[in-house]
Amino acid sequence: MTTATPVTHAAAPAVTGEGREHDVAGMFNRIAKRYDVLNDCISLGMHRGWKRAAVKALNLQPGQQVLDVATGTGDLVQYLLPTVGPTGQVTGVDISDEMLNVARQRFGQHTNTTFTLGSAMALPLADNSVDGAIISFGLRNVDNVPQVLAELARVVKPSGTIVSLDTAPDPWLPGFWWYFNLVMPTVGKLISGDNAAYKYLAQSTKAFVTPQQLQTMFANAGLSHITCQRLAFGSVAVVKGVCN
Ligand SMILES: C[S@@+](CC[C@H](N)C(=O)[O-])C[C@H]1O[C@@H](n2cnc3c(N)ncnc32)[C@H](O)[C@@H]1O
């Protein structure tokens, strides 16, 4: 018999600064079982198109190895697997064991997937070990964005692509803040019971770097051929760069 995990009403993590990994992991542990349903609700299903666009930007080939950092419930894996095919390999890394448990339930039957507990700040992978890496709705949550970009550049082979998909603090329609501040936490609370987690989504988006600033960080990490694609009226951005 399975019992439902009780929802606790802990405060949301701080939205910037060092040392918040433990709190961020705790928040995602709490919402793991409801995360995928909530994504569909709060993005009105649009996150699927954004994720397809981000995976396309990786320019992966069949047989290649790809790293999905902050993989969460492995939602990107459904788009990565068909791209690398049965001879390719998908590795997911995340700091939340409950999110990873959902990922393993979803994709554990695919022998070319691996889900590992670990931090984007110190990736548990060797230098030059993967052909590409993606971080989707993850960079906003890390302690130190330049350190994570340096880690991604370390593990991706020369000529491999690194992609970030994330929300942007400078959307083109001001009405998005109304949606972020009011609608998302309300829907989030109704479905997950965790109002703090979905307030954190708006607060961490406001505190995050702009896509323009993120492109500069990509360049500072030694990446080249940097591009940015804004989606959903600028509220979401796909930033990509190539390792040298
Ligand atoms: C909003 S979810 C995104 C999940 C998935 N990538 C997606 O697009 O649906 C953010 C994920 O980042 C993970 N995360 C946050 N900080 C992390 C870090 N420092 N290292 C690895 N994962 C991290 C969280 O545990 C959570 O699973």
pLDDT at 111 (0 to 100) = 96
Contact in structure between 92 and 56 (CB atoms under 8 Å):
no
Task: For residue 82, give the nearest of 110, 104, 47 by alpha carbon.
Answer: 110
Rg of the chain taking only CA atoms, in angstroms? 17
Least confident interval from 21-30, 86-95, 208-217: 21-30
How many secondary structure helices (H) and strands (E) does the chain include?
A: 10, 7
Contact in structure between 142 and 17 (CB atoms under 8 Å):
no
Q: Which of residues 183 and 48 earns the better pLDDT score? A: 48
**pLDDT greater than 50 at residue 166:** yes
**pLDDT greater than 90 at residue 15:** no
Ligand 1 atom nearest residue 96's Cα:
25
Give per-residue pLDDT as tens, 135-157.
999 999 999 999 999 999 999 99
Q: Which residues contact 68 (CB under 8 A, 6 or more apart)?
A: 74, 76, 77, 80, 90, 91, 92, 93, 133, 134, 135, 136
Report percent pLDDT > 90 for the chain.
76
Cβ of 166 less than 6 Å from ligand 1: no
Ligand 1 centroid, distance to 95 Cα (angstroms): 7
**pLDDT greater than 50 at residue 5:** no
Cβ of 70 less than 6 Å from ligand 1: yes
Q: Which CATH superfamily is domain 21-242 in?
A: Vaccinia Virus protein VP39 (3.40.50.150)
The values of phi and psi at residue 176, to 5°, are -65, -30
Q: What is the mean pLDDT of residues 214-236?
A: 97
Q: Which of residues 182 and 130 earns the better pLDDT score? A: 130
According to DSSP, the β-strands at 89-94 and 113-117 are: parallel
Give per-residue pLDDT as tens, 64-115.
999 999 999 999 999 999 999 999 999 999 999 999 999 999 999 999 999 9
Q: What is the mean pLDDT of residues 159-166?
A: 98
pLDDT at 55 (0 to 100) = 98
Ligand 1 centroid, distance to 46 Cα (angstroms): 19
Cβ of 136 less than 6 Å from ligand 1: yes
